[in-house]
Amino acid sequence: MKVSVLGPAGSYSEIAAHIFFETAIDGPSPELLFCSSIENTVMRLFEEDENGDLSNCAVVPIENSIEGAVGVSMDLLLEKDVSVIAELILPVRHCLLVPEKSTQTPDFSPDKIEVVYSHPQGLYQCRSYIQKHLKGAVLIETDSTSKAAMRVAEMSDNSADGKVRAAIASAEAGKAYGLKAVDCQIQDNLNNSTRFLLLIRSESLPLLKIHAGDVGLHILPENLSQTGSGDVFYKTSIIAAPIQDRPGVLFHILEAFYENDINLTRIESRPSKKSLGEYNFYIDFEGRPSDKNVDDALKLVQERSSRLKILGTYGRILPNRQ
């Protein structure tokens, strides 16, 4: 089982992948394929890398509780023939990571750090900490938080300029690259979390099935979020492109859910990239198409849209990461 994730090792995407496969999926242990971007992570489902590897699944971030939607992931859900088979909400716990040797000087403290590396979102999510403790440091953006940790480790080994460098990344990234966490949970919002989706090629799965048996996966219901009555809490995700040049296009789409007593859990708009003012609507809601009210609602949405793409019906995997 090959799973593509945003790399390098130690990324939050890798952490999410381990949670998907170690706590909720009954199947073979995954071989992780680390990719340089979210787009490459999804494309690895369709195109082999330089080693001839093609992934069976992809793990991608879709939204953050602070930053909101991950635009590139949303666009790929529309553009590529993929299905969602599971989700999880991962708590994001940023650490300030430095080379061990930098901490061995008697007067070391975070305000001695001169250069800080992280993903743009990592820097933004820790901006209060940076302003208070790292105000003199130069901030350098990287493709991922784990790439920041790898870069700090490499420069510690190869740089002779004497500068104290640090990365903002996960504790797991620190372990992966031999860096010491001198401060943890430095994110401004202690409830910071990211929602990840587990994707497969749509051809690998009969649409709207939760058991991905065709790719060797079986999601264990007991490890999925449940309703108050003890049933598995299922969600369905769709993308609807409204019929243009008519008043109340969004209202008429949403009305289909209201009329059928369906709770929406998320609605997001993205530019269609066709013309200014045209949008696609990403909608998550409770229930499955096998439920009569959901089936009725989807028929109405289909009638009121120029295009309807059903991304999948899935459960939320419960993470064990605090």
Question: What is the tens place of the pLDDT at every residue in 208-235?
Answer: 343 333 334 445 544 455 554 445 578 8
Which of 21-35, 96-110, 287-301 shows the highest mean pLDDT? Answer: 287-301
| Amino acid, res. 227 | T
CA–CA separation, 89 and 64 (whole Å)? 9
Q: Give phi and psi for 223, each to the nearest 5.
A: -105, 15
Q: Considering the chain, what percentage of its residues have pLDDT values greater than 90?
A: 55
Residue count (the chain): 322
Give the residue carrying structure tokens 């013309």. 275
Q: Classify residue 100 as exposed, middle or buried by CB count within 10 Å of its CB (0-12, 13-18, 19+).
A: exposed
Strands 179-184 and 95-99: antiparallel
The domains found in the chain, sorted by start residue, are 2-91+192-223 (3.40.190.10), 95-184 (3.40.190.10), 234-314 (3.30.70.260)
Residues 156-188: pLDDT tens digits? 765 556 688 999 999 999 999 999 999 999 999
pLDDT > 70 fraction of the chain, expressed in percent and rounded: 85
Sequence-separated (6 or more) residues with CB below 8 Å from residue 248: none
CB 189 within 8 A of CB 129: no
Residue range 232-250: average pLDDT? 82
pLDDT at 151 over 80: yes
Residue 289 in tokens: 């198409």
Under 8 Å between Cβ of 167 and 151:
yes
Residue bearing tokens 């994730």? 5
pTM: 0.84
The pLDDT value recorded for residue 106 is 72
Backbone angles phi, psi at 270, to 5 degrees: -135, 140
Q: How far apart are CA 315 and CA 302, in angstroms?
A: 24
User: What is the mean predicted confidence (pLDDT) over 291-319?
Assistant: 87
Give the model's pLDDT for residue 315. 79
pLDDT at 209: 40
The pLDDT value given to residue 319: 56
List pLDDT tens digits, range 37-73. 999 999 999 998 888 888 989 999 999 998 889 999 9
Residue 200 confidence (pLDDT) above 50: yes
Alpha-carbon distance of 116 to 105, in angstroms, equals 19
Cα separation, 94 vs 64, in Å, equals 14
Q: Give the whole-angstrom CA distance, residue 203 versus residue 295.
A: 22
Separate counts of helices (H) and strands (E) for the chain: 9, 15
Nearest alpha carbon to residue 260 among 279, 244, 236: 236
Question: Higher confidence at residue 230 or residue 259?
Answer: 259
| CB 75 within 8 Å of CB 217 | no
Q: Can you list the alpha helix ranges (DSSP code H) found in the chain?
A: 12-19, 38-43, 71-79, 120-125, 127-133, 145-158, 171-176, 249-259, 292-303
Least confident of 22-31, 96-105, 137-146, 272-281: 22-31
The reported pLDDT for the residue numbered 153 is 92
- Helix, strand, or coil here: 20? helix
pLDDT digits (tens, 9 = 90+) for 76-125: 999 999 999 888 899 999 999 999 887 777 777 777 889 999 999 999 99
pLDDT of residue 51: 82
- What pLDDT sits at residue 229? 47
Give the pLDDT confidence score for residue 210 in this predicted structure: 38
Query: Does residue 2 surpass a pLDDT of 70?
Result: yes
Answer yes or no: are the C-beta atoms of 259 and 253 closer than 8 Å: no
